[in-house]
Amino acid sequence: MLRIISTLSRRIERQVGPNSAVALLIAAAIGAVCFTVMAGALVYGNTRSLISSGEWVQHTQEVLASLQRVSLLTERIEYRSRLYTLTGNEEQLTRARASANQLETTLVHLKVLVADSDYQTRNLQILVSNAQYFEQALNNFTVKSELSAIQLQQNQQAIGLMTDHEQSLLQERSKGSQQSSFTSISAEVAFVGVSLISLVVLFGLLLRDAVRRQTISKQTALTNERLARTVNELEDRAHESELLTSARDELQLCVEVHQVYESAANSFSRLLLGTSGSLCMINNSRQLVEVVSSWQGSSGESAVEDFHPPDSCCGLRSGQPRWRQPGVSEIHCTHFSSEAPDRYLCKPIVAHGNTLGMLYVQCASEAVLKAVNLRTDGLRQLVQLTGMAIATLNLRTKLENQSIRDSLTGLFNRHFMQISLERELSRAARRKQTLAVFMLDLDHFKKFNDTFGHAAGDTVLKAVAEIFRANIRAEDIACRYGGEEFTIILPDVTPAIALERAESIRRSVANVRLPLDREVYSEFSISIGVALYPNDGETSDLLLRRADMALYRAKRAGRNQVSQFEAVTMAT
C-alpha cells in the first residue's frame, strides 16, 4: 500500500509541479480510497466466509436441537404409554398419541436438514420407521399393551449416532468459524485508526442527540405519568359510578326495611374496601340507636353496638360527618362498649330533613383511611340513596298501615277485614278446613262513654284491642268493625278451639282493671257471637250475618257470654 501511495505521489508531483503538499493530500486521498476499497473487499470476503461458517454451525445446531426434540418425544411416548397402562388414564394415552404426531412432524423437518448427508439419511430412516410403528401401536393401544423395547432402543441408538456425527461436524465448523472470525477481526482492527476520528465526530453528534432525547424522554415520562393518573382516576370514577348504579338498583328492589339494611351494608363494603362498619338506626322512641346491619373487612369486626342516648355519637350530636383520627381529632364518641379504635367515621343518615341514624366506618390503617377519603363523593351519594330508600319504605309502611288499620286501636279496619275474610274463605275451601268468625260487642259501652267521656272510652277500646292481640294467633285477624264492635277471623280452627278462644277473650275482658279519675274501673264485659265455615255459611256476608245473629242472641241472654250460631237462632 505504501508503494502504491509513493508511486501515485511521484506521478502527481510531476503533473502538478513543486506543490508537494497538494500532491501529498491528493495521493493520501487516492490511497485512502484504494485502501478502503481493498479493505472493503477483504472484509467482504471474510464476512462471506464468516457468514457461511456461521450458517453451517447454525445448521448443525438446528439438527442437534431437532435430534434432542426427537429423543424427548420418544421418551414422552414411552412415559405416557406406561402411565396409561399403570393408571388407565385416557388423558395419558391422548398425550402419548399427540407426542407421536409431533415426532413425525419433527422427523419431516429433520429429513430436510440432513438431506445432504447419506450417513444421516440412513439413520433417519430408522427413526421414521419407528415413528410409524409408534403411531400404529398407539392407535390400537390398550391398558394391557406395551411398546416394543427393541423399537425404543433402536430409536435411541439412531439418535445417538446422528448426534455424535453432528457433534463432530459442529466442532469442525466451529473451528472454521473461529478462523474466519479471527481474519475478520484482524481486518477490522486495521480500520480502527481510520475510524477513530469519524467515531469521535459521530459520538459528538450522537451525544448531542442523546441529550436532546433525554430531555424529551423526561418530558414524555412526566406527561405519561400525568396521563396514567388521569386514566386511573377516570377508571376509579367509572367503577364508583357503576357500583352506585348497582346499589341504587338493588335498593329499589327492596320491599322491606331490613332488606335495605342488608343491601346497603353490602354496597358500603364494596365501596369502602378494607373497612369494617355498621348501619345504625334511631328507634321510634328516639332514645336508642340500634345496629341493624354490619360488614367486616381487614380492620376486624365493627366496634360499635347498640347505644343510647343518640347524643353519645359526635356525628349525630353535631349533625355533620365526623372523622376521628390521630393528630386531627382526639375526642372519641362515647358509644363504644370496649376500647375505641384509632380511626373511624360517624356520618349521619338524613332524609327529608329527618335524622334516621348514622353510618359507622372503621379503618384499620392510614392507607385505608386515605382510600376512604378518595371516595368521599361516592360515600355521600350512597348514604343519601340509603336514607331515601329507608324513608320511602317507612312512609310506605305508614301509609299502608293507615289504609288497613284503625288509627285508635291499631287493629285492622272493616275494609281489610272484608278482603281478608274472602281470601281466608277461598283458602279454607281449597284446603277443606274450618274457619271461625267472631262478632264482639262491648256491653253497655255507650253508657260508659256518656258517663266517663270519650277519652276514657278510647282507653277502654285500646285495652280491649290489646286483649285481642294477646289471645289470638299470629295468623288470626282482629278488626274493628265499627264503634265498640269488633270482628275476629280464625282460619283453620276446630269448633271446640274457637269457642275456647272466644271464652278466653271474654274472661280477659272481664278481668280488665282501668284507672279512671283516681279510681279503678273493673265492670267491663263483652258479648261474642260465633259462626263457623262451612256449617253456618259459605259466603262472607252470610257468616258475618249469622255471627251477628249469635251476638245478639248472647246480648238477649244477659250479655257477658259467648254464643254459637245455631239453626234455632233464626227461629228465636
What is the rounded CA–CA span in Å between residue 73 and residue 71?
Answer: 6
Choose one of 401, 432, 462: the last residue of a domain.
401
Q: Answer yes or no: do 463 and 429 share one domain.
A: yes
Helix (H) / strand (E) containing 278: strand 276-282
In a domain, 509, yes or no: yes
Q: Within this chain, do residues 393 and 456 fall inside the same structural domain, yes or no?
A: no
Do 377 and 453 reside in the same domain of the chain?
Answer: no
Residues 6+ apart with CB under 8 A from 215: none
Q: Are 313 and 396 in contact (CB under 8 A)?
A: no
Whether 209 maps to a domain, the answer reads no
Same domain, residue pair 56 and 91: yes
Task: Tell me how far apart the terminal alpha carbons of the chain are, to the nearest angstrom.
Answer: 153
**Between 292 and 178, where is the model more confident?**
292
Q: Is 102 a member of any domain? A: yes
Both 565 and 488 in one domain: the answer is yes
Within-domain flag for 237: no
Q: pLDDT tens for residues 287-325? A: 899 998 999 877 677 778 888 888 889 888 888 898 888
Which three cell numbers, joined as nine digits, stand for 211?
A: 441529550
Q: Mean pLDDT across the stretch 199-205?
A: 67
Does 430 share its domain with 549? yes
CA distance 120 to 163: 9
Q: Same structural domain for residues 99 and 31?
A: yes
CA distance 59 to 286: 90
Domain match, 389 and 451 both: no
Q: What CATH number has the domain bearing residue 264?
A: 3.30.450.40
Instruction: Please check whether residue 423 lies inside any domain of the structure.
Output: yes
Tell me how far CA of residue 430 lies from CA of 211, 427, 476, 546, in angstroms: 93, 5, 18, 22
Please name every residue paired with 533 in a beta bridge, in sequence order, or none if there are none: 435
Phi, psi of 479 (to 5 degrees): -135, 150
Residues 348 and 442 in one domain: no
Calculated CA dihedral for residues 310, 315, 319, 323, nearest 10 degrees: 180
Residue 480, domain CATH = 3.30.70.270
Q: Which of 357, 372, 401 is the last residue of a domain?
A: 401
- Please tell me whether residues 284 and 411 are part of one structural domain: no
The per-residue DSSP string of 422-446 comes to: HHHHHHHHHHT--EEEEEEEETTHH
44-81, pLDDT tens digit by residue?
776 777 677 777 878 888 888 888 888 888 888 878 88
442-464 confidence digits (pLDDT tens) = 999 998 888 888 888 999 999 99
293 with 436, same domain? Answer: no
How many separate domains does the chain show? Answer: 3
**Closest listed residue to residue 465, CA positions, set 493, 490, 446, 484:** 484
CA atoms of 518 and 511, how far apart (whole Å): 19
Q: What is the pLDDT of residues 78-133, one digit of tens each?
A: 788 888 888 888 888 888 888 888 888 888 888 888 888 888 888 888 888 888 88
384 and 459 inside one domain:
no
Domain assignment present for 222? no
Q: For the chain, what is the largest distance between any 2 Cα atoms, rounded to a whole number of angstroms? A: 165
Tell me which of 401, 426, 446 is where a domain ends: 401
Asked if the structure places residue 225 within a domain, the reply is: no
Q: By residue range, what is the domain housing residue 379?
A: 254-401
